[in-house]
Chains A and B, each alone.
Chain A
Amino acid sequence: METTIAGKQVKLNEQGYLTDLNEWSREVATALAAEEGVELGEEHWPVLEYLQNQHKQEVPLTIRKVGKSGIVDIKGFYALFPGGPLKKASRIAGIPKPASCI
């Protein structure tokens, strides 16, 4: 599905996740975050960057890994992206929805 986010043409899947990380920008992230009820601040960017890097390296994401990343602990991760941190942060980071149960 093609749509316009932050003045840019992007493709989203049916769950609202970007299908092409190249279409991601900070502006797109800010707009996606607003949809998720998250206002992005300085602390969010390093987490999003970490998730993108893990995705590029094809590492499956889990809450445990994020907690051990040294960038944010689990409590902090839940506080930054309340109500489903891994799902929300992945969507804002422009990467696919994680298929993880842990």
Chain B
Amino acid sequence: METQELEQNAIKVEPAKVKKMMLILSKATIDNVYACFILANGARMEGIEAEIFFTFFGLEAVQKKKIEHLHVATVGNPAMHIPTLLGGLPGMESFATNMMKKEMEKLDIPPVGEFIEILEASGAKLWACKLAMDMFHLKREDLVDEIADVITVGDFYEKASGENTHLLFI
């Protein structure tokens, strides 16, 4: 009885929508990079703001020289379902990565370089981590043009301000 009354008196509140996704990419294995990019692009497709902070190994995904050479991990990755020793053989990573890329192309998933262009065109903002840049001795010109700026963690948190912002570490 009481519950019924409570339900009747309750004011209907619309669930708050996600407004902004702040993604932090810290890894360079191709599956992690794609997870990050698809989440960012998917957010933009839903009218949600999206920003990516590339830090540590995640910086490999936005380095001009490395961008076409990202691999899936064949060692220490139980989801590969191959013996670890086999996964460590020369050429295994390239082989597995090529297989994966072929499957992705079938689904119209763009290569990493083109994906970065798409993200920029869709209004996603891409940032590089200053500390990681210093650590790996990288310069701004080593990174793709789509990177908006090299910023600190503090700067990134400031950009995360506002209601219904979500942060995600990959």
- Selected contact of B38 from candidates A60, A74, A85, A102, CB within 8 Å: A102
List A contacts of B108 (CB < 8 A): 60, 62, 64-65, 102
A95 within 8 A of B: no
Known contacts A83-B47, A84-B45, A87-B46: A63-B109 contact under CB 8 Å? no
Do residues B47 and A84 form an inter-chain contact, with CB atoms below 8 A? Answer: yes
In the complex, A99 Cα to B42 Cα: how many Å? 11
For the complex, is A92 an interface residue (Cβ under 8 Å from B)? no
- Contacts between chains A and B (CB distance < 8 A), count: 41
The yes or no answer to B123 lying at the interface (CB within 8 A) is yes
CB proximity of A35 to chain B, nearest CB, Å: 15
- A64, B121: Cβ atoms closer than 8 Å: no
Q: Is B110 an interface residue (CB 8 A)?
A: yes
Q: Given the complex of chains A and B, what is the CA–CA distance between A82 and B47 in angstroms?
A: 7
* CA–CA, A101 and B110, complex, Å: 12
For chain A, give the interface size range: 10 to 19
- CB of B55 within 8 Å of the partner chain: no
Chain B residue contacts of A102, Cβ below 8 A: 38, 41-42, 107-110
Complex Cα–Cα for A102 and B43 (A): 10
**Cβ of B44 < 8 Å from any Cβ of A?**
yes
Among A33-76, those with CB < 8 Å from B are 60, 62-65, 67, 73-75
Q: Does B118 contact A (CB under 8 A)?
A: yes
Determine if A78 and B42 form an interchain contact, defined as CB atoms under 8 angstroms apart.
no
Bound together, the chains give a CA A85 to CA B169 distance in angstroms of 27
* A93 CB–B CB distance under 8 Å: no
A64 to B114, CA, bound (A): 9
B33, chain A: closest CB distance, angstroms: 14
Q: Is B29 in contact with chain A by the CB < 8 A criterion? A: no
Closest 7 CB pairs of A and B: A83-B47, A74-B121, A84-B47, A75-B121, A62-B108, A84-B46, A101-B42
Which B residues have a C-beta under 8 Å from some C-beta of A? 38, 41-42, 44-47, 107-110, 114, 118, 121-123
A-B contact pairs, 12 of them (CB 8 A): A60-B108, A63-B45, A63-B118, A63-B122, A64-B114, A73-B121, A74-B118, A74-B122, A82-B47, A83-B47, A87-B45, A87-B46
